[in-house]
């Protein structure tokens, strides 16, 4: 008997018992749907994080305070802070560096007339534009003079300006930040969020002003910054820059109490984390696939027992053991592969919903679909073997007598 | 003409030790092509065991069984399946039709295993059903047919691969007197066309319609070639 006949026969048998067939498939359907959804979600998260990291720019290094030792001590020993003087030293003493932007920030209410909004108040320097590749939409950005004079000037993030001024021209107006009046000198171009920071919703003031008027002096070593971003002369000089900065800061601080990260190292770390996450999600979901396979085996075993007479009759009229084996195997494979397909469709549509409702660009990868359907078919084959062999080995005489 | 069926000192023993059952014990007999015979005997006398043996569903414990010149004891499982498919047609007391299939599909089933294309299958199945008088019920499922009609579907299924032999184990056991007559008429007709027919029956009236009666008792052939006319006096055997 050829394969198409076996296939038709198996399909007919399954169709004759639709309720049972669909219930049998349920486990595989759920297993596949969860695998597809989980892997899609993991990949979506990965893409999201990568996108965020890539928006940092390829030449940028981040210097953040903290050391391995203090981390391991559970943060008992407070690391020496990075200060504005560190940033100035890097700018003047490291030749492979183009621009250096120290940053510190705090939360606060920004108000214009009777409109208030909570916002991030970022203190930085003129190099911020270069390092983070921002453009000024209207007016100007902060200048070295602003830093020296602790000027009360502010550059507004695009969306914040929109919200606060509602179409009015912001330039030349005055806003209050934590009760202090600032002159609006510029508005930044819109850029979207990167690494969870959304400068579109922030206000930028001179870092010296932030220290002297808003957060106060918090470090004995100078004006504290939360991190320093540095842009190297070129992508090739990244390693040199990192080396030179490390040396300089070691000398200044007397130890390794800082980290230097580039977009690449951040990407690497993120890839490892999200990759592990995806793998873990897939592994958990795969368990339900295996459970689904066991469900198929279970129902098939019951089915063999129930269909003893049918099997005996088929043998009496000329079916060989192989014919019976193949028929039951195909039934198992149809159930699991079809379940796999339905589950995949289900998982894919749930991912579609997720990508609409969340910032994740969660996608269904063809590889995930192929693997899921292939694995389901394999599971059907694997778990179908035991019942199919039991059916094939039935003694037709005993089977026919079991009326 | 060589024998179609020949048992030589054939035994079939089930179990071992205390539970040993000699279902057939050193039986020798032969049936020629074209014969129309019945097997009778008390319950447990080995009739069904003999039928299973003849039908190549089973292999002897000892002795030889030749079917159509082949030593069945030497054949493998796949060869036996092939013989059952091409040369033998089975009819059972309980019909054993597949409930999810129509009459036509039930009759087609042996041809599926013979690798015949579906167009030819449908044509030949319809022919066979017409031959047993069910030309109008091709697309009915078994539960839409009477017992007699179901048994006729089963007979159509048995003849559709043009076998040498039809084996029927108590084919009229579940039928009333009238349908029994109809079914027996079909067997008679098939035999007249040259097919060998062997059936097991408990009913003397049924056996009487065949041309030869083989009597079994305790796994052995007690009497062969007893004329149907002598049947009434020997009814005590059953
Ligand atoms: N698979 C088996 N295992 C053990 N014993 C068996 C088996 N099949 C048949 N027997 C025994 O072999 C003997 C012959 O059984 P068989 O079915 O051939 O009798 P029968 O003549 O067909 O009886 P009935 O008229 O009741 O159908 C019986 O004693 C039966 O119990
Ligand atoms: Mg019997």
The residue ranges of every structural domain in chain B are 34-60+82-233
Q: What does the pLDDT read at residue B235?
A: 54
Cα-based distances in Å from A317 to A29, B57, B68, B196 = 36, 10, 18, 17
Residue nearest to atom 18 of ligand 1 (CA): B46
Contact list, A312 vs chain B (CB under 8 Å): 96
A394, A396, A397, A403: residue to mutate for ligand 1 pocket, most atoms within 8 A of CB: A397
Residue B82 or residue B18, greater confidence: B82
The residue of chain B with its CA nearest to that of A16 is: B100
Contact list, B58 vs chain A (CB under 8 Å): 397
Q: Which atom of ligand 1 has the smallest separation from the CA of B202? A: 25
Q: What does the pLDDT read at residue A60?
A: 87
- The model's pLDDT over A259-272, given as tens digits with 9 standing for 90+, comes to 888 877 888 888 88
- The model's pLDDT over A95-116, given as tens digits with 9 standing for 90+, comes to 999 999 999 999 999 999 889 9
> A-contacting residues of B 23-62, CB under 8 Å?
52, 55, 57-58
The yes-or-no verdict on residue A193 having pLDDT over 90 is no
Of the candidate ranges A114-128, A262-276, B118-132, B149-163, the one whose mean pLDDT is the lowest: A262-276
- The model's pLDDT over A71-102, given as tens digits with 9 standing for 90+, comes to 444 555 555 678 999 999 999 999 999 999 99
Q: Is the ipTM of this complex over 0.90?
A: yes
Q: Which CATH class is domain B34-60+82-233?
A: alpha beta
The yes-or-no verdict on residue B64 having pLDDT over 90 is yes
């Amino acid at each position: 008997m050829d394969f198409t006949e076996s296939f038709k026969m198996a399909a007919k048998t399954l169709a004759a018992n639709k309720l049972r067939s669909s219930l049998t498939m349920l486990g595989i359907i759920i297993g596949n749907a969860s695998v597809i959804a989980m892997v899609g979600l993991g990949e979506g998260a990965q893409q999201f994080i990568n996108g965020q990291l890539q928006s940092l720019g390829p030449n940028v290094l981040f210097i953040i305070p903290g050391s391995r030792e203090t981390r391991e001590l559970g943060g008992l020993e407070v690391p020496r802070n990075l200060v504005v003087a560190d940033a100035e030293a890097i700018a003047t003493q490291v030749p492979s560096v183009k621009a250096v932007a120290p940053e510190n920030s705090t939360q606060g209410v920004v108000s214009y007339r009777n409109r208030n909004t909570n916002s991030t108040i970022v203190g930085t320097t003129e190099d911020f534009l270069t390092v983070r590749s921002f453009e000024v939409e209207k007016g100007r950005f902060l200048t070295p003079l602003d830093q020296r004079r602790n000027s009360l000037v502010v550059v507004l993030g695009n969306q914040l300006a929109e919200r606060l001024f509602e179409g009015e021209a912001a330039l030349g107006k005055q806003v209050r930040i934590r009760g202090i009046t600032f002159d609006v000198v510029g508005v930044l171009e819109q850029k979207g969020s990167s690494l969870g920071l959304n400068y579109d919703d922030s206000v930028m003031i001179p870092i010296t002003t932030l220290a002297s008027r808003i957060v106060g002096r918090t470090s004995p070593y100078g004006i504290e910054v939360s991190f320093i971003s540095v842009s190297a002369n070129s992508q090739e000089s990244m390693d040199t820059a990192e080396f030179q900065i490390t040396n300089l800061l070691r000398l200044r601080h007397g130890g390794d109490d800082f980290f230097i990260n580039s977009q690449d190292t951040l990407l690497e770390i993120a890839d490892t984390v999200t990759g592990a996450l995806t793998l873990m999600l897939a592994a958990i979901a795969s368990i339900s696939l295996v459970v689904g396979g066991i469900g198929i085996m279970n129902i098939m075993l019951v089915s063999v027992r129930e269909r003893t007479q049918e099997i005996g009759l088929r043998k009496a009229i000329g079916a060989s053991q192989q014919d019976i084996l193949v028929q039951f195997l195909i039934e198992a494979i149809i159930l699991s592969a079809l379940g796999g397909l339905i589950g995949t469709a289900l998982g894919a549509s749930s991912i579609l919903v997720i990508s609409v409702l969340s910032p994740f660009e969660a996608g269904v990868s063809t590889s995930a679909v192929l693997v899921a359907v292939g694995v389901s078919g394999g599971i059907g084959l694997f778990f179908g073997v035991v019942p199919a062999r039991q059916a094939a080995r039935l003694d037709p005489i005993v089977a026919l007598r079991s009326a | 003409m060589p024998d179609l069926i020949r048992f030589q000192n054939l035994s079939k023993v089930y179990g071992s030790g205390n539970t040993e059952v000699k279902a057939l014990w050193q039986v020798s007999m032969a049936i020629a092509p074209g014969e129309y015979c019945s097997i009778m005997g008390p319950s447990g006398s080995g009739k069904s065991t003999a039928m299973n043996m003849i039908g190549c569903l089973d292999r002897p414990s000892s002795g030889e069984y030749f079917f159509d010149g082949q030593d069945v004891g030497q054949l493998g499982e796949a060869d036996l399946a092939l013989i059952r498919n091409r040369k033998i047609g089975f009819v059972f007391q309980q019909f054993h039709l597949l409930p999810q299939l129509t009459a036509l599909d039930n009759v087609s089933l042996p041809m599926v295993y013979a690798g015949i294309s579906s167009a030819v299958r449908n044509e030949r199945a319809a022919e066979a059903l017409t031959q047993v008088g069910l030309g109008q019920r091709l697309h009915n499922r078994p539960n839409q047919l009477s017992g007699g009609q179901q048994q006729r579907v089963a007979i159509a299924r048995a003849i559709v691969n043009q076998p040498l032999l039809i084996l029927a184990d108590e084919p009229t056991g579940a039928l009333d007197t009238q349908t029994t007559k109809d079914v027996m008429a079909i067997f008679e007709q098939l035999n007249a066309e040259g097919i060998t027919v062997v059936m097991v029956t408990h009913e003397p009236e049924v056996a009487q319609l065949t041309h030869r009666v083989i009597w079994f008792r305790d796994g052995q052939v007690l009497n062969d070639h007893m004329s149907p006319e002598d049947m009434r006096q020997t009814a005590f055997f059953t």
